[in-house]
Protein backbone atom coordinates (compact mmCIF):
# COMPACT_ATOMS: atom_id res chain seq x y z
CA UNK A 1 0.00 0.00 0.00
CA UNK A 2 1.40 3.36 -0.99
CA UNK A 3 0.70 6.15 1.44
CA UNK A 4 0.73 9.89 1.18
CA UNK A 5 4.02 11.55 2.04
CA UNK A 6 3.36 15.16 2.98
CA UNK A 7 5.87 17.93 2.66
CA UNK A 8 7.23 19.42 5.86
CA UNK A 9 9.89 21.99 5.09
CA UNK A 10 12.65 23.11 7.39
CA UNK A 11 13.13 26.33 5.38
CA UNK A 12 11.52 28.23 2.52
CA UNK A 13 12.32 26.29 -0.68
CA UNK A 14 13.68 28.06 -3.76
CA UNK A 15 11.27 28.79 -6.62
CA UNK A 16 12.70 26.05 -8.85
CA UNK A 17 11.81 23.38 -6.26
CA UNK A 18 8.30 24.79 -5.78
CA UNK A 19 7.73 24.57 -9.54
CA UNK A 20 8.75 20.91 -9.47
CA UNK A 21 6.22 20.31 -6.67
CA UNK A 22 3.24 21.89 -8.45
CA UNK A 23 0.14 19.78 -9.00
CA UNK A 24 -0.37 18.05 -12.32
CA UNK A 25 -3.64 17.82 -14.28
CA UNK A 26 -4.85 14.92 -12.13
CA UNK A 27 -4.31 16.91 -8.92
CA UNK A 28 -1.33 14.87 -7.76
CA UNK A 29 2.27 15.81 -7.27
CA UNK A 30 5.50 13.95 -6.76
CA UNK A 31 9.12 14.93 -6.22
CA UNK A 32 11.23 11.74 -6.15
CA UNK A 33 14.54 13.47 -5.34
CA UNK A 34 13.03 14.57 -2.02
CA UNK A 35 10.97 11.37 -1.60
CA UNK A 36 7.67 13.23 -1.35
CA UNK A 37 4.36 12.23 -2.87
CA UNK A 38 0.80 13.54 -2.79
CA UNK A 39 -1.65 11.96 -5.23
CA UNK A 40 -4.78 13.62 -3.91
CA UNK A 41 -7.44 12.91 -1.32
CA UNK A 42 -8.90 9.67 -2.67
CA UNK A 43 -7.67 6.09 -2.47
CA UNK A 44 -6.60 4.74 -5.85
CA UNK A 45 -4.56 2.03 -7.49
CA UNK A 46 -1.15 3.28 -8.61
CA UNK A 47 1.89 1.98 -10.41
CA UNK A 48 4.18 0.00 -8.07
CA UNK A 49 7.11 2.27 -8.93
CA UNK A 50 5.35 5.06 -7.03
CA UNK A 51 6.53 3.29 -3.87
CA UNK A 52 9.13 5.29 -1.96
CA UNK A 53 10.86 4.02 1.15
CA UNK A 54 9.67 6.88 3.38
CA UNK A 55 6.19 5.49 3.83
CA UNK A 56 4.72 2.27 2.55
CA UNK A 57 3.58 -1.09 3.80
CA UNK A 58 3.86 -4.42 2.03
CA UNK A 59 2.77 -7.96 2.77
CA UNK A 60 5.62 -9.79 4.46
CA UNK A 61 5.14 -12.75 2.14
CA UNK A 62 5.56 -10.55 -0.94
CA UNK A 63 8.69 -8.92 0.45
CA UNK A 64 10.18 -12.34 1.14
CA UNK A 65 9.19 -13.54 -2.36
CA UNK A 66 11.05 -10.58 -3.81
CA UNK A 67 14.14 -11.43 -1.79
CA UNK A 68 13.98 -8.31 0.34
CA UNK A 69 15.44 -4.92 -0.45
CA UNK A 70 18.60 -4.36 -2.39
CA UNK A 71 21.45 -2.34 -0.81
CA UNK A 72 20.72 1.36 -0.38
CA UNK A 73 21.67 4.32 1.83
CA UNK A 74 25.19 2.98 2.32
CA UNK A 75 27.92 5.11 3.95
CA UNK A 76 29.96 7.24 1.51
CA UNK A 77 33.05 5.05 1.83
CA UNK A 78 31.04 2.05 0.58
CA UNK A 79 29.12 3.89 -2.14
CA UNK A 80 30.27 1.46 -4.83
CA UNK A 81 28.09 -1.17 -3.09
CA UNK A 82 24.93 0.91 -3.45
CA UNK A 83 22.02 -0.89 -5.09
CA UNK A 84 18.48 0.11 -6.02
CA UNK A 85 16.74 -0.28 -2.65
CA UNK A 86 12.96 -0.59 -2.80
CA UNK A 87 13.00 -0.07 -6.59
CA UNK A 88 13.74 -3.76 -6.91
CA UNK A 89 10.70 -4.63 -4.79
CA UNK A 90 8.44 -2.34 -6.83
CA UNK A 91 9.68 -3.95 -10.05
CA UNK A 92 9.00 -7.41 -8.63
CA UNK A 93 5.45 -6.41 -7.68
CA UNK A 94 4.82 -5.18 -11.21
CA UNK A 95 6.31 -8.29 -12.83
CA UNK A 96 4.18 -10.58 -10.67
CA UNK A 97 0.99 -8.71 -11.52
CA UNK A 98 0.43 -7.60 -7.93
CA UNK A 99 -1.25 -4.28 -7.20
CA UNK A 100 -0.25 -1.14 -5.34
CA UNK A 101 -2.72 1.15 -3.62
CA UNK A 102 -2.36 4.80 -2.66
CA UNK A 103 -4.31 5.82 0.44
CA UNK A 104 -4.16 9.46 1.60
CA UNK A 105 -5.30 8.71 5.15
CA UNK A 106 -2.29 6.51 5.82
CA UNK A 107 0.06 9.46 5.63
CA UNK A 108 3.22 10.76 7.22
CA UNK A 109 5.01 14.07 6.99
CA UNK A 110 8.53 13.88 5.65
CA UNK A 111 10.90 16.51 7.00
CA UNK A 112 12.99 18.08 4.25
CA UNK A 113 15.90 19.93 5.89
CA UNK A 114 17.27 23.12 4.38
CA UNK A 115 20.43 21.42 3.12
CA UNK A 116 18.33 19.20 0.84
CA UNK A 117 16.78 22.18 -0.90
CA UNK A 118 19.99 23.19 -2.64
CA UNK A 119 21.51 22.63 -6.06
CA UNK A 120 24.38 20.69 -4.48
CA UNK A 121 22.00 18.23 -2.86
CA UNK A 122 20.09 17.67 -6.11
CA UNK A 123 23.36 17.15 -7.98
CA UNK A 124 24.47 14.60 -5.40
CA UNK A 125 21.07 12.92 -5.56
CA UNK A 126 21.32 12.72 -9.35
CA UNK A 127 24.80 11.16 -9.03
CA UNK A 128 23.46 8.55 -6.61
CA UNK A 129 20.58 7.77 -8.94
CA UNK A 130 23.11 7.14 -11.69
CA UNK A 131 24.86 4.58 -9.47
CA UNK A 132 21.57 2.86 -8.65
CA UNK A 133 20.55 2.71 -12.30
CA UNK A 134 23.93 1.29 -13.29
CA UNK A 135 23.43 -1.42 -10.66
CA UNK A 136 19.97 -2.23 -12.07
CA UNK A 137 21.26 -2.21 -15.65
CA UNK A 138 24.03 -4.68 -14.83
CA UNK A 139 21.69 -7.02 -12.94
CA UNK A 140 19.27 -7.00 -15.86
CA UNK A 141 22.03 -7.72 -18.37
CA UNK A 142 21.59 -4.31 -19.97
CA UNK A 143 24.64 -2.28 -19.08
CA UNK A 144 24.00 0.19 -21.88
CA UNK A 145 23.47 3.69 -20.58
CA UNK A 146 21.01 4.52 -23.37
CA UNK A 147 18.48 2.08 -21.97
CA UNK A 148 18.46 4.01 -18.70
CA UNK A 149 18.07 7.57 -19.89
CA UNK A 150 14.45 7.53 -18.80
CA UNK A 151 15.47 6.63 -15.25
CA UNK A 152 17.32 9.87 -14.55
CA UNK A 153 14.15 11.28 -12.95
CA UNK A 154 14.21 14.39 -15.10
CA UNK A 155 10.56 15.25 -14.73
CA UNK A 156 8.84 17.65 -17.09
CA UNK A 157 8.99 20.24 -14.34
CA UNK A 158 12.76 19.91 -14.24
CA UNK A 159 12.89 20.52 -17.96
CA UNK A 160 11.14 23.85 -17.61
CA UNK A 161 12.73 24.94 -14.33
CA UNK A 162 15.39 27.60 -14.13
CA UNK A 163 17.88 24.93 -13.06
CA UNK A 164 19.72 23.63 -16.15
CA UNK A 165 18.61 20.10 -16.94
CA UNK A 166 21.98 19.42 -18.50
CA UNK A 167 23.65 19.94 -15.10
CA UNK A 168 21.36 17.44 -13.35
CA UNK A 169 21.89 15.05 -16.21
CA UNK A 170 25.69 15.40 -16.18
CA UNK A 171 25.80 14.40 -12.49
CA UNK A 172 23.50 11.47 -13.17
CA UNK A 173 25.75 10.36 -16.02
CA UNK A 174 28.88 10.67 -13.85
CA UNK A 175 27.31 8.39 -11.23
CA UNK A 176 26.29 5.85 -13.86
CA UNK A 177 29.73 5.80 -15.50
CA UNK A 178 31.54 5.72 -12.13
CA UNK A 179 29.68 2.60 -11.10
CA UNK A 180 30.09 0.89 -14.47
CA UNK A 181 33.87 1.41 -14.27
CA UNK A 182 34.07 0.24 -10.66
CA UNK A 183 32.25 -2.99 -11.50
CA UNK A 184 34.27 -3.56 -14.66
CA UNK A 185 37.52 -3.31 -12.70
CA UNK A 186 36.53 -5.46 -9.72
CA UNK A 187 35.17 -9.02 -10.17
CA UNK A 188 34.25 -9.16 -6.46
CA UNK A 189 32.09 -6.06 -6.84
CA UNK A 190 30.39 -7.59 -9.87
CA UNK A 191 29.65 -10.69 -7.78
CA UNK A 192 28.11 -8.40 -5.17
CA UNK A 193 25.93 -6.67 -7.77
CA UNK A 194 24.79 -10.01 -9.18
CA UNK A 195 24.12 -11.58 -5.79
CA UNK A 196 20.90 -13.59 -5.83
CA UNK A 197 19.61 -12.47 -2.43
CA UNK A 198 20.83 -9.98 0.17
CA UNK A 199 18.18 -10.98 2.69
CA UNK A 200 19.25 -13.54 5.28
CA UNK A 201 16.73 -15.16 7.61
Give the model confidence (pLDDT) of 38-78 as tens digits.
888 889 998 888 877 778 889 999 999 999 999 998 899 99
| 166-169: long-range contacts, CB 8 A cutoff, minimum separation 24 | 167/119, 167/123, 168/122, 168/123, 168/126, 169/126
Average pLDDT over residues 148-161: 45
SS3 assignment, position 47: coil
User: Which DSSP category does 9 fall into?
Assistant: E
Q: Identify which has the larger pLDDT, 165 or 195.
A: 195
Rounded to an integer, what distance in angstroms lies between the CA atom of residue 168 and that of residue 174? Answer: 10
Asked if pLDDT for residue 179 goes beyond 90, the answer is: yes
Residue 149: predicted pLDDT: 53
Asked if pLDDT for residue 82 goes beyond 90, the answer is: yes
Asked if pLDDT for residue 144 goes beyond 80, the answer is: no
Domain boundaries, the chain: 2-193
Average pLDDT over residues 1-20: 67
Cα angle 98, 101, 104; round to 5: 170
Residue 187: predicted pLDDT: 97
pLDDT band at 154 (very low <50, low <70, confident <90, very high): very low
Q: What is the largest CA-CA distance in the chain?
A: 49
Buried b (16+ CB within 10 A) or exposed e, 56-80: bebeeeebeebeebbbbeeeeeeeb
Residue 160: predicted pLDDT: 41
Residue 178: predicted pLDDT: 96
SS3 assignment, position 175: helix
Residue 180: predicted pLDDT: 93
Mean pLDDT of the chain: 82
Asked if pLDDT for residue 161 goes beyond 60, the answer is: no
Residue 61: predicted pLDDT: 94
pLDDT band at 158 (very low <50, low <70, confident <90, very high): very low
Amino acid sequence: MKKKIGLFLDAEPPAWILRMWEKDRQGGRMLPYLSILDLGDEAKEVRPDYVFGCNFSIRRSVLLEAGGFHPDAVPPEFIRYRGDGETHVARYIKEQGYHALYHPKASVYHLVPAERMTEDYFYRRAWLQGISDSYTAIRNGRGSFLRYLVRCNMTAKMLVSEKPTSTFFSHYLKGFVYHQQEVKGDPALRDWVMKDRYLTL
